[in-house]
Structure 1
Amino acid sequence: MTAPTEFAPGLVVQGFAPPLRLRDFELIAFDMDSTLINIECVDEIADAVGRKAEVAAITEAAMRGEITDFKHSLRRRVALLEGVTVADMERVYTERLRLNPGAAELVAACRAAGLKTLLVSGGFTFFAERVRAELGIDFVRANVLELRSGPHCGALTGRLLPQCWGDICDGAEKRRTLLEVASLLGLEPAQCIAVGDGANDLPMMAAAGLSVAFQAKPVVRTQAHVAINQGGLERLLEVVRP
């Protein structure tokens, strides 16, 4: 890539000369936690059983790229969620989860320009499906938390359920999902935009024609075509015009 340039305050671009046109792209893929939404859901769920600090430390190390085995790190964190109830997760959703500034505006602009939208998350379907519905996103892939059956039903077991596509949505799966959806739509990777904030987003960002780091970890900012370091997600529209 060419050297990064501050296109506007808090908005850095590298590897191309802006502005681009949104209509030159056909698919945009978003990470969820700390990208479309303001929290890391796994950390907030852990707060219900007094383990937020322990879980958040693992999350931070994974997002910074200091832990390279995302699957192992996620299993460690999910194991610490054993006993959390569906009611606890409902409270996280209603009391703590908010869309990040500009998320709704950016998704709406993309939809208006004819792009398909994809949410691909290392988080959980409990939240991802709701965010999908709220924003009108076309496709979603995330992890499924296992619930106890029997007398203790409605509480987490501390495990994830395998799905038809695999066991855990990590960085490699995010990349594969982006390319799979693009292929199903008859698109080339160059027609895709990928937006994320953590190290596990880098594989899909590297596969896309345009990569966007939103309020991201340093390892992600330095590798993205666009880094939004101040303001909301709608600032992408300053670089990629509707």
Structure 2
Amino acid sequence: MMHIDSADGTPIAVHETGEGRAVVIVNGAFSTARDAAELAQSLAANGLRAVTYDRRARGDSGDTPPVDPRREAEDLAAVAAAAGGGAAVLGHSSGAVLALFAAGEGVELDHLFLSEPPFHFGEGDPDPELPARLQRLVDEGRPAEAVVLFQREGVGLPEDVIEQIRRSPMFDALVPLAQSTVYDAVLTRELSTPTAAMQAPRAPVTVLCGVQTFPFLRSAAERLARTVAGAELVSVPESVGHRPDAAATARVVAERWR
């Protein structure tokens, strides 16, 4: 692991696996670089260099207020530059939204692989006050409540699933990521619909979607592929339940990024 400084001085923790052309992995909600380890290994097995990083307010990375998607775009720019430039990016869930936003902001990325990005296109958006409510819980020292609130209103998990997670050992690992839920809530609220710049990125775009995923995500992937000029939609049967299959996803990337 190494740390690089983003544009505002925030330290970002970065890991590299394998050799070859770089693919920067951008995780979704409640994820750190560690969660992408299997995917990184699969990319390396396909002759690529996987670059994983902790998005700000997660894992070994720092955080600097205010919460702003442009700062996360700067983080990705710094990671891609440190990887040597000319990198592809593989973003999953909110990480896919961030990757496309960064490209629209002018971050140099040579290919965009967007896995099940949760674009609402202005339909069924969460409460616009959700980011402020999450931040208030974090500031009041109630991170566990922020995690549950984001699961309920930001992700839309059913109450029984939330309760199962709350009672499981994994919940303790989610609580330290409470501040990151504010970033994801702001990102998906402000970018419910891709901006004009996001709809016309300079890099090729491949949209990935599992066959057995949430209907909302399938619809979003299909609509995004129609919206972004020249985008390709690829179904990944092995990816189930909004979890990208490492081997299958790496294969899709390697076939298009040599």
Does 1 or 2 have the higher relative contact order (CA < 8 Å, sep 6+)? 1
Same fold by TM-score greater than 0.5: no
Shorter-chain TM range is 0.3 to 0.5
Q: When the two structures are superposed, what TM-score results if normalisation uses the length of structure 1?
A: 0.35
